[in-house]
Each structure stands twice: as C-alpha cells, then as structure tokens.
Amino acid sequence: MSLLFAPQTALIQNRRRCVCVLRGNRRTSIFSINAFHAEEVQLPSDVIIPRIRPSFPILVNGCAGKMGKAVAEASISAGLNLIPFSFSAPNEGYQVVQIGTTAVQVCNHSEREDILSSVIKEHPDVVLVDYTAPAAVNENAELYCKLGVPFIMGTTGGDRVRLNQTVKEANVYAVISPQMGKQVVAFLAAMEIMAEQFPGAFQGYSMQVKESHQATKVDTSGTAKAIVTCFQKLGVSFDINQIELVRVPKKQVEDVGVPEDHLSGHAFHMYHLTSPDQTVTFEFQHNVCGRSIYAEGTVDAAIFLSNKAKLKADQKIYNMIDVLREGSMR
C-alpha cells in the first residue's frame, strides 16, 4: 500500500481498492484517517509514511558476469535480500564476487543443484534470476523446474520453444522475455499492437536490420528477433538469419556510432524499411549504453513474480510485457 500525503486531503488505496480520506485538523495538527469500516487512526501531521518496499530473498546466477553483477547490485538497492551464493556459467570456476557489502560465493556449474536445494530449503520464497550463458539456458531451466523455484530467465539464446514447454509442463512460475529493459519493452509492446491491429501494413517493403552488442555476445539479440517477427506480421518478407550482427569494435564506433566508453556494454538496434518503388523509407532505432536499464527491469520482474507466487496466480508463465501491463515498473 502506498500513502501519498497532500497538505489537507489525500487518498489511500489498498489492494482491495478500499479508499480512505485524510483530513487535516488545524487545531491539533492531527490527521484522522476515516476508513469505511469505521476505525480511526490518528497520526501527527508531520509524520511521513514511506512507501512499503518489497523484501524477499533473491538469488542471481551468473554474478561473475557483468549483467549478473548489475542485477545483484540493483536488487540490493531495491531492498531485496541477496542470497550470498550463486553458480557460474559452464567452464567458469569458483570465485567470490563482492556486491556492495555482500560477498557472493560463485560456485562451479556442476554444484548448482546442491546449492539451489540448500537455498530453497532455507528460503522457500526465494526468486531466482539467470544471467549465465546461452548454452546453459535449457539445462538450467530444467533444473529450476525440477526444484520448483520461480525464476527470471534473463539469459538469451537456447531453444526457446523447449524452454517454454519445460516451464509449462512443470507448472512453475517464470518470467521469460528476450528483453528486460523497461522502455524497450514498451516499444516492443507497441510493435506487437501495431502488428495485431494492422497486419500487412508494410506489405512489399524490404528491410535491413542491424544490431550491435559487445563482442562477447555470441547470439543474435532476442529483441531484434521479436521486432522482426512483428514486421513479418506487418507484411515484410525478412528472415531472422538476415539480421546483421556487428561485433567488431572498430565498425561499432565508425559505422554504428557506439561511444568507445560503452563498447564493452551496449545494445544498438536499427530497422530500415523501404517501399517497393524506393520512394518511402521508415527507420526505427533504439540504442542503449550500459546495463542499468536491464538490471532495473529484471528487479521489477522479480518483484512481480514474487507477488504472483505468493498470491498463487493461475497463470504461471509471463513476459516483460505482462509486467509492464500490470504497472509493476518502479
């Protein structure tokens, strides 16, 4: 519940949509909160009631990586209880990663089931976040489903059809999305609405798609794939394999315009469409430097999923558009 105070009158609305009115009493400088069930609570007028911050245990797998570390830092900033254990991506050994004042033990990939079993036993309400490696997506998801733990699959790549089928059969709560950035999610949602409401609007148009990420990203951007799917519904003949991947730093700076300071962490996407007679062009572009937009969105997804699990929601599989539509972005 969030309380927002105005000088004389304010409204409070809880989850059951019960509305209360606060009125200022000038003589005694006391606020009276009169609820519909006739109870009265008195508070000094200078008392500030903070927004209730979510607090639940969260475990971030892949803390040794830049994205995993960014999510862990954002989790602590949001007031979540960061579990000081994690497991690494395949072929990475044991190490300790310092996240604020928390020393996270990143254990070997082979130890992941033992680690998770122990964590779940001690923290049954834990939510897990995966930012490991594309090659481990399906294997990790199968383990999470086996143990029945709610999870956010932030790692791209893997067999996504198999991933969704695994989660569906296990009946486990999960957020699976090719994109965790809040504003990019909104753009993707708008594209999906346009594709649904105006199918064939770009019939006959040709398209070029270019996406640039740090050289360590080996797979094609999941966001680019999703946007291309929308354009296909809009009538554009374009194959996913035609997406141009830019991974060479020199070309990223000179041809794409990536700032040198962000060569190690960026996401630039460009979609260029041309009419059949070459007289009309459309360009869509979204460029991100750094990782904070994804880290914050991932924490939003974790809060969203924790609430769904606690409420025992009927729906189990979600994406970031579901998070956005529910107004769960902080």
For residue 138, the domain's CATH number is 3.40.50.720
Q: Which two tokens stand for residue 12?
A: 């409070």
Looking at per-residue pLDDT, the higher value among 321 and 303 belongs to 303
Catalytic residue, from 146, 182, 210, 217: name it. 217
Contact call for residues 78 and 298 (beta carbons, < 8 A): no
pLDDT, tens digit (0-9, with 9 covering 90-100), for 80-91: 999 999 987 777
- Residue showing tokens 């996240």: 99
- Report if residue 32 sits inside a domain: no
Same domain, 66 and 151: yes
- Report if residue 3 sits inside a domain: no
Measured torsion, CA atoms of residues 131, 169, 222, 293, in degrees rounded to the nearest 10: -50
Catalytic residue, from 69, 109, 213, 308: name it. 213
Same domain, 319 and 235: no
Residue 232 in this model has a pLDDT that exceeds 60: yes
- Report if residue 35 sits inside a domain: no
Same domain, 233 and 273: yes
Q: How many domains does the chain have?
A: 2
pLDDT given for residue 11 in this prediction? 37
Characterize the bridge pairing of strands 151-153 and 9-13: unpaired
Same domain, 196 and 311: no
Q: Is 37 a catalytic residue?
A: no
Same domain, 100 and 127: yes
Q: Which structural domain range is residue 170 located in?
A: 57-180+293-326
pLDDT, tens digit (0-9, with 9 covering 90-100), for 291-320: 999 999 999 999 999 999 999 999 999 999
For residue 202, the domain's CATH number is 3.30.360.10
Same domain, 166 and 304: yes
Q: Is 217 a catalytic residue?
A: yes
- pTM of the complete model beyond 0.95: no
pLDDT given for residue 12 in this prediction? 35
- Report how far residue 278's alpha carbon sits from residue 325's, in angstroms, rounded to the nearest whole number: 38
110 falls in which pLDDT band (50, 70, 90)?
confident
What is the average pLDDT score of the chain? 85
- Report if residue 50 sits inside a domain: no
Same domain, 176 and 186: no
- Residue showing tokens 């990939």: 109
Contacts of 230 (CB under 8 A, 6+ apart): 188, 191, 192, 194, 195
pLDDT, tens digit (0-9, with 9 covering 90-100), for 14-61: 333 333 333 344 333 333 333 334 344 454 545 444 445 678 999 999
Same domain, 246 and 258: yes
